[in-house]
Amino acid sequence: MNFNQPLGGNEMPRFAGPATMMRLPSASSAAGLDAAFVGVPMDIGASHRSGTRFGPRQIRAESAMLRPYNMATRVSPFDHMHVADLGDIAINTFNLAKSIDIIEAGLTDIVQAGAVPLTLGGDHTLTLPALRAMAKQYGPVGLVHVDAHADINEHMFGEPIAHGTPFRRAFEEGLLDASRVVQIGLRGTGYADDDFDWPRSQGFRVVTAEECWHQSLTPLMQEVRQQMGSGPVYLTYDIDSLDPAFASGTGTLEIGGLTTVQALEIIRGLKGVNLVGTDLVEISPPYDMAGSTALIGANLLYEMLCVLPKVVAAQS
């Protein structure tokens, strides 16, 4: 079979050519694809520093360094899956509510075509319509949520939909299988105990950053795999889960965060989980002076590709 391959650095200089994700071919529909990168250039759900509207473009630019073979895990995702870059979903940047519906429709198209969406954010509001699209196809899903924040606010400035509320809304709407939800990396200042206890009282597992300090997360991920079982799982990765020392190009920084090594352990630890969709959110290029936050994001999206069920099945 002829699979799409990233354009190699010996065919075209890495700094040249169209800036698609990993220099893959672009596609206008997900038909025939196994996995699809898609951008959501949105920051109108952000509460503090904005700029994530430029996230997809910058992640693509920094992804030019990525080569197709995963040296550590010996996985070659592009030999087993049809993958392309679908470009960006045309949100309405003047209207968050309409944008939410547009994102849900765009991701529904991808899921219904049989492809796994890997979404380049964009602020975290986008995960609510993503979960709506997932639940329509699969019913309530398990959720691996990596973040400094629980994002379970009742409302923000009176609004029910914003980047700090998606998992409260998703729970209320029945999009989540609450016993198969884990939130990893939570930390920082809050308003009250309830910020982290509300998810616990709904049956979510909460793993604070303090529980991750100074240790490998590989044992944790063994427990997460057991928790997720064989049902469908969505992975949402907020870049602010990482310590600002690694990823300062984001809107709401919290100190004492995860390392890039732990990020790799989390994603590689999802090998064997039935991932049906993923996203990487909250990269804000205006605050990412070295481009390293976007570079980390690009690498993490590639690692997600390497643990999708079709690749794992083909290489096991």
Between 109 and 238, whose beta carbon lies closer to Mn ion?
238
d(CA 55, CA 52): 5
Between 38 and 150, whose beta carbon lies closer to Mn ion?
150
Of 92, 22, 103, 107, whose CA–CA distance to 304 is shortest? Answer: 22
Q: Tell which positions 214-253 bind Mn ion, by CB under 5 A.
A: 238, 240
Angle between helices 55-62 and 292-306 (to 10 degrees): 80
Using CA of residue 172, residue 174, residue 175, residue 177, what is the dihedral sign? positive
d(CA 103, CA 8): 31
Q: Please identify, among the stretches 3-11, 54-62, 151-159, 218-226, the one whose residues bind Mn ion according to the rule CB under 5 A.
A: 151-159
Between 34 and 147, whose beta carbon lies closer to Mn ion?
147
Between 124 and 168, whose beta carbon lies closer to Mn ion?
124
* In the block, residue with structure tokens 């998606």: 166
The distance of closest approach from Cβ of residue 126 to Mn ion in the complex, given in angstroms and rounded to an integer, is 10
User: Would you count residue 124 as binding Mn ion (CB under 5 A)?
Assistant: yes
Contact 40, 282 (CB under 8 A): no
Q: Tell which positions 48-87 bind Mn ion, by CB under 5 A.
A: none
d(CA 134, CA 128): 10
Residue 76 burial by Cβ neighbours in a 10 Å radius (0-12, 13-18, 19+): middle
**Which phi and psi (to 5°) does residue 192 adopt?**
-165, 165
User: Would you count residue 151 as binding Mn ion (CB under 5 A)?
Assistant: yes
Q: How many CB atoms lie within 10 A of CB 17?
A: 12
Q: Please identify, among the stretches 70-78, 81-89, 123-131, 154-162, the one whose residues bind Mn ion according to the rule CB under 5 A.
A: 123-131
The distance of closest approach from Cβ of residue 143 to Mn ion in the complex, given in angstroms and rounded to an integer, is 12
User: Would you count residue 147 as binding Mn ion (CB under 5 A)?
Assistant: yes
The distance of closest approach from Cβ of residue 20 to Mn ion in the complex, given in angstroms and rounded to an integer, is 26
Q: Please identify, among the stretches 40-48, 122-130, 259-267, 294-302, the one whose residues bind Mn ion according to the rule CB under 5 A.
A: 122-130
Buried b (16+ CB within 10 A) or exposed e, 84-109: bbbbbbebeeeebeebbebbbebbbb
Between 22 and 263, whose beta carbon lies closer to Mn ion?
263
The distance of closest approach from Cβ of residue 29 to Mn ion in the complex, given in angstroms and rounded to an integer, is 29
Between 150 and 233, whose beta carbon lies closer to Mn ion?
150
Number of residues that bind Mn ion (CB under 5 A): 7
The distance of closest approach from Cβ of residue 252 to Mn ion in the complex, given in angstroms and rounded to an integer, is 6
DSSP code of residue 200: H
Three-class SS of 234-250: EEEEEHHHECCCCCCCE
Q: How many CB atoms lie within 10 A of CB 48?
A: 11
The distance of closest approach from Cβ of residue 280 to Mn ion in the complex, given in angstroms and rounded to an integer, is 11
Among 53, 149, 168, 187, the residue binding Mn ion under the rule CB under 5 A is: 149
The distance of closest approach from Cβ of residue 209 to Mn ion in the complex, given in angstroms and rounded to an integer, is 11
Between 85 and 147, whose beta carbon lies closer to Mn ion?
147
State the binding string over 31-50 for Mn ion (x if CB under 5 A, else -): --------------------
Between 250 and 299, whose beta carbon lies closer to Mn ion?
250
Residue numbers at the binding site for Mn ion (CB under 5 A): 124, 147-149, 151, 238, 240
